[in-house]
Amino acid sequence: MRMKLAATAAMALAAMPLSASAEGEVNIYSYRQAYLLEPLLNAFEKETGIETNVVFAKQGLAERLEREGRNSPADVVMTVDISRINELVERDLVQGVDSDVLNSNIPDNLRHPEGKWFALTTRGRLIFTSKERVEEGEITTYEELADDKWNDRICTRSGKHPYNIALFSSLIAHHGEEWTEQWLQDVKDNLARKPQGGDRDQIKAIAEGVCDISIGNSYYYGNMLQDENQRPIAEQVRLVFPNADGRGTHVNISGISLTKSAPNKDNAVKLMEFLSSPEAQRIYAEANTEYPANPEVKPSGLVAEWGEINPDQLSLQTIADNREAAVKLVDRVDYDGE
């Protein structure tokens, strides 16, 4: 394996420079952990002979790109969540890619209209319910979370977390701000506790009887099932694909963008195209129990066992455009307050 991992924390970034002009290389700044990328990049290097160099960080990559400016060695940024991806666009840190391969492999709603980002995988924002205290089919939509029958029975992480903001942004797109504000207020009134923790913590809360319903990303559930210590907890909840019989389940993405400086642009575009290919899509989706962004590639393994997902076809760029409005609504109803 020739892939180089340059860092595992934001504090280490400045100390780990990458070559900006090495021939036959592509330099990657990544919010995604190295173990998820390793099999992908090994396959890419084997097929193309192009070496990959990776800097991983939990945060701070956009700021680093701004500091480095035109001298940045980074060719691409790999990240999760439409908000983080759109931040790169808003800060003018990435450039558009006009690729027939990418445009063919990635649907319109899962890529920027000017090619400034492309989805690589998707994950559903699902409803989790107690198998013991909630009947199958008793809740089937996001809208029903506002029903007062669920009073004191719902747990969520912070309303300001990007995953929830993306969901709320999608509801604004479908129903408008006034409706979404009332929905948020009603969901808050149904909470069993103050928003806290992560998506896995909501599943644990259901198992412990703190609440009966939560919302969370599908891959967290998959990761828990693959962990022998957390599997007994995850097995106590039932997956619900909200709005499956209507507009479809809200999805978020992991994605990739070509940086504005991109010293190895041709190699970078080759990598982007490879990552959208059926081979890479299968590898990437399986690594983190996610769904392929390429619609020609079917889910496999554990994800396939959950059944088909009917994803909302709403443009992720529309969701990104509604982000500011969603944040204001969360503040207005004091969703995270007592």
* Distance, CA of 90 to CA of 78 (rounded, Å): 16
- Rounded distance between C-alpha atoms, residue 332 and residue 326, angstroms: 10
| Closest CA relative to residue 271, chosen from 17, 24, 92 | 24
Q: In CATH terms, are 4-122+252-307 and 123-249+318-332 the same topology?
A: yes
**What are the boundaries of each domain within the chain?**
4-122+252-307, 123-249+318-332
**Tokens in use for 317?**
């760029």
pLDDT tens by residue, the chain, 338 residues: 444 544 433 333 333 445 444 459 999 999 988 788 999 999 999 999 999 999 999 889 999 999 999 999 999 999 999 999 999 999 999 999 999 999 999 999 999 999 999 999 999 999 999 999 999 999 999 999 999 999 999 999 999 999 999 999 999 999 999 999 999 999 999 999 999 999 999 999 999 999 999 999 999 999 999 999 999 999 999 999 999 999 999 999 999 999 999 999 999 999 999 999 999 999 988 888 999 999 999 998 899 999 889 999 999 999 999 999 999 999 999 999 98
Q: C-alpha 192: how far from its chain's center?
A: 26
Q: Are 52 and 45 in contact (CB under 8 A)?
A: yes
Which residues lie below 8 Å from residue 323, measured CB to CB, with a gap of 6+? 83, 86, 165, 166, 169
Rounded CA-CA distance 271/275 in Å is: 6
CA-based nearest residue to 243, from 125, 81, 136, 119: 125
CA–CA dist 58, 172 (Å, integer): 29
- Choose among 24, 74, 19: nearest CA to 48: 24
**Between 3.40.190.10, 1.20.58.100, 3.30.70.1400, 3.40.50.920, what CATH number should domain 123-249+318-332 receive?**
3.40.190.10
Distance, in Å, from the CA atom of 55 to the CA atom of 76, rounded to the nearest integer, reads: 11
Tell me the fold of 4-122+252-307: D-Maltodextrin-Binding Protein; domain 2 (3.40.190)
Q: How far is CA 315 from CA 11, 38, 82, 263, 291, in A?
A: 35, 29, 11, 30, 17
Length of the chain (residues): 338
Q: Write the Ramachandran bin of 41: left for phi over 0, alpha for psi from -120 to 50, otherwise beta.
A: alpha
Nearest-angstrom CA–CA distance, 221 and 227? 10
Burial of 107 (0-12, 13-18, 19+ CB in 10 A): middle
Of the candidates 242, 250, 237, the one whose C-alpha atom is nearest the C-alpha of residue 208 is 237
